Amino acid sequence: MWFLPLWATVCGAVAAAAPLTMTGLARLLLALFLVELGWGELWLAVVATDWATPLGRWQRWKDELSHSSTGDAAAGREDRPLLPYARPNSPADRLGRWLAQLTSWGRMVLLPMTGPALGSALIGLLLSLALSVVLGRDFLLLTLGILASAQLIALARGGRGGVGPGVGTAFRAGFGWLAGHLAFAPLSLPSAALAGALSLAASGAEDSPGRARRALWVGGYLSALLLLIAFQRPLAVPFVAFLALPPLLTDPAEGTPGWLRRYGLWLAAAMLLSASAL
């Protein structure tokens, strides 16, 4: 469901209910670039990379250098005093040796194992910050939010990487909706609440077991229906409820890719209908 974050951005713009202007369309285009090229690259680099293995080796790095033949040269460089005037075992000497270990670990472990991910994360972060500066302070806060969310998800999974794309789809769709709305107007409570509810439905779309997928789907849709009633938009309720039904009639054990391809468009239609109702 690669297009769902972009679609959610458009739905957020629809929910803003602001008149179309050339300035607004230009801001929406920049927001789409931010969601896909900036946040998408940053999220994937953070949550899909195995950070635990190189960090685990850092904890044992001094012992590895002393026992590994490939670390002889690095160990020799580590024994050289980086601060020639520092007394042995002084704080300055210990700091110099720690920096030498860090440099050798980064060159021999971190960069070979995570170099491409670090490059992608840096590019995504710089692009996100640049676009956020152009779009305004609210977008900068969203960028910090997506970065913090990615780090929390990575930590929750033990930093092992391989986080399924469904979690990323939910977060990026929710933040994308907010970005689309902010491109045209200040954020409103109904729009933000619907973004959260429909993101809940999307969260199980790609990497949850069948029963958990259904629970997230029903919970997200039920929240959206209750919000539409609370915001006095009852005419949209039966149509959104109808869009929630077809996936519930499938076999819970059905494979995730087939389920998503078949019913992801129903979620996209529900998002647009809900946004239009505001």
For the chain, give every domain's residue range.
4-40+118-277
Let me know the angle formed at the C-alpha of 2 by 183 and 11, rounded to the nearest 5 degrees. Answer: 30
Which residues touch 52 (CB under 8 Å, ≥6 apart)?
Answer: 158, 159, 160
Question: Could you tell me the pTM of the whole model?
Answer: 0.83
In the numeric block, the tokens 């409820």 are attached to: 241
Give 208's DSSP letter.
S
Would you give per-residue pLDDT tens digits along the chain (278 residues)? 678 899 999 999 999 988 888 999 999 999 999 999 999 899 888 888 888 888 888 777 766 666 654 444 444 454 455 556 666 777 777 777 778 778 888 888 888 888 888 899 999 999 999 999 999 999 999 999 999 988 888 888 787 776 555 567 788 889 999 999 999 999 999 999 999 999 888 876 555 555 677 788 888 889 999 999 999 998 999 999 998 887 777 655 555 555 556 667 888 999 999 999 98
Give the integer Cα–Cα distance in Å for 101 and 104: 5
